[in-house]
Amino acid sequence: MPNITLSVDDKIIKKVRKIAVDQNTTLTAMVRDFLKSVAERGGPEAERAVRNLKASFAKYSRDMGSRTWKRDELHER
């Protein structure tokens, strides 16, 4: 597995290390998990969500007919 080098403010590192200890993990594991979640967002899970959304639109959308009004008519004062 390749290594990477990051520059991060010392105060942030200290805070995150404390959080990691509280969560019984390490800073490295937290960064690894975060990068993994970013990489997976565009994968099958996102594609499945899009398919489900499209299916929902197809199931619940209704034909409202042709538009018989103009925008200006709706905003006459």
Cα(39)–Cα(50) distance, integer angstroms: 17
State pLDDT tens for residues 11-60: 999 999 999 999 999 999 999 999 888 887 777 878 888 899 899 988 88
Cα(67)–Cα(70) distance, integer angstroms: 8
| Residue 77 confidence (pLDDT) above 70 | no
29: helix, strand or coil: helix
Instruction: Report pTM.
Output: 0.54
The whole-number average pLDDT for the span 56-71 is 83
30 with 20: CB under 8 angstroms? yes
What pLDDT sits at residue 73?
83
Residue 10 pLDDT level (bands cut at 50, 70, 90): very high
- Tokens read off for 28: 């490295």
